Amino acid sequence: MSAGHRTAWMISTVLLLESLSVAALAVVLVCAVVRPFRWPEAAFAVPAAGVVIATGAITTEAVREEAERLGPVIGFLAAVLVLAKLCDEEGLFHACGTWMARWSHHRPRRLLGAVFALASLITAVLSLDATVVLLTPVVFATATRMGARPAPHVYAGAHLSNTASLLLPVSNLTNLLAFTATGLTFTRFALLMLLPWLAAIAVEYAVFRRFFAADLDAEPTAPDTADGPVEVPVFALVTVAATLAGFAVASAVGVDPAWAAAAGAGVMAVRALTRRRTSAVRLLRAVDLPFLAFVLALGVVVRAVLDQGLGDALDSVLPDGTGLLSLLAVAGLAALLANLINNLPAVLALVPLAAPSGPGAVLAVLLGVNIGPNLTYAGSLATLLWRRIVHRHDHEVSLRRFTLLGLATAPAALVVSTAALWLSLELFGT
């Protein structure tokens, strides 16, 4: 084969592998959104990962690197899913609903404030999955019993599952994927993200009160029946608090936070099993193995796309430095990419490129991939899951309303929280 033919063959092979990788990622994302035949996301992601491996679009060494990088993240996610589910069975989320009803005093605006407070705390501590899967039905039931219009409170759960996941490394899978790249400890991460977290939630709350003014001003149609004490599941609360403290201690001594999560889930599981409140089968279902497989497969497919040229393209447009304008540009690019290809692939693609500029740039990426998805349904898997849960309660979700609310909240929250991040970096350094 002549040199010219060899060069042409190599170029055609590269183009073929690039096209194959992009097509594989597109199939994975579209099927995650549409879920044909109601199959789990892994049913499409795992074969797609197999295709890019078999064709050589990603090397076996790169696959091993991704597995090593994502392994602790997947283990942590499994433990938190079990912990949240067992807290629900202990009555934690039922207690949340009772508290919201009592705190609101039959007033929709106070109920919205209670939803914001609880959703923000639960998202930060037990991850956004707990807010979407476990708190959303409670919020819906509380608003319905009160006779209030459910839209403001239900939409708040969707937005806060994304926006309120900024605070801790454990609040969101995107944070977990980026945590190691920041080089920060657990407590340092939380310190730097506290102001952005508060700023983003404050913007969301202000916009929600205005956007849903008519719904919040409508008089509840049911009588006030919120009375009696709130039964607090003390054991669950203590276990969650101890687990959260364990995250900080583990990070400080160089131990992966997954072990602290596993310990908390283990304590709750032993208690539930000995009291016969759960079974091994139910615990295995809570782990959600298909979703864990989806995360790993998605990481492999995204790595293939990056290795085939996307990484170089993003690197050429990603700003350097941690000045305010640079942070705003990084956060904006991350938000755009999250809405184009979903926030999980976006964080996998951008974090390695942002890491050389320092932890501030990586945190700006997290602002973009956590707040930005409130613009579109496809921006995050949490929003897609929220939509399915709301539909189960026969509540209509308007694409137009969701988009208008996203346009009213996401850009403003992103700008304000990025400015708050810049201020945190100036005050506390890294």
**CB–CB of 104/146 below 8 Å?**
yes
**Domain count across the chain:** 1
Checking if the pLDDT of 394 tops 70, the result is no
- Alpha-carbon distance 299 to 304, whole Å? 9
Q: Among the ranges 133-147, 250-264, 358-372, 377-391, which has the highest mean pLDDT value?
A: 358-372
* Domain annotation covers residue 80: yes
* Domain annotation covers residue 309: yes
* Domain annotation covers residue 314: yes
Angle between helix 186-211 and 151-163 (nearest 10): 150
The pTM of the full predicted model, rounded to 2 decimals, is 0.86
Average predicted confidence (pLDDT) for the chain: 88
Share in percent of the chain as helix, strand, coil (round to 5): 85, 0, 15
Among 6-15, 279-288, 340-349, the minimum mean pLDDT is found in 6-15
Domain enclosing residue 278, as ranges: 10-428
Q: Any residues with CB less than 8 A from the CB of 174 and at least 6 apart, and which?
A: 165, 343, 344, 347, 366, 369, 370
3-state secondary structure of 101: helix
- Give the pLDDT score at 2: 59
- Alpha-carbon distance 80 to 73, whole Å? 11
* Domain annotation covers residue 423: yes
* Domain annotation covers residue 3: no
- Alpha-carbon distance 394 to 424, whole Å? 43
* Domain annotation covers residue 2: no
Q: How confident is the model at residue 5 (pLDDT cuts 50, 70, 90)?
A: low
Among 58-72, 90-104, 173-187, 377-391, the minimum mean pLDDT is found in 377-391
**CB–CB of 387/351 below 8 Å?**
no
Q: Any residues with CB less than 8 A from the CB of 325 and at least 6 apart, and which?
A: 319
Checking if the pLDDT of 410 tops 70, the result is yes
* Domain annotation covers residue 180: yes
For 47-97, what is each residue's pLDDT tens digit?
Answer: 999 999 999 999 999 999 989 888 888 888 889 889 988 998 998 888 888
- Give the pLDDT score at 341: 82
- Give the pLDDT score at 156: 95
* Domain annotation covers residue 114: yes
For 314-357, what is each residue's pLDDT tens digit?
Answer: 888 888 888 999 999 999 999 999 988 888 888 988 999 999 99
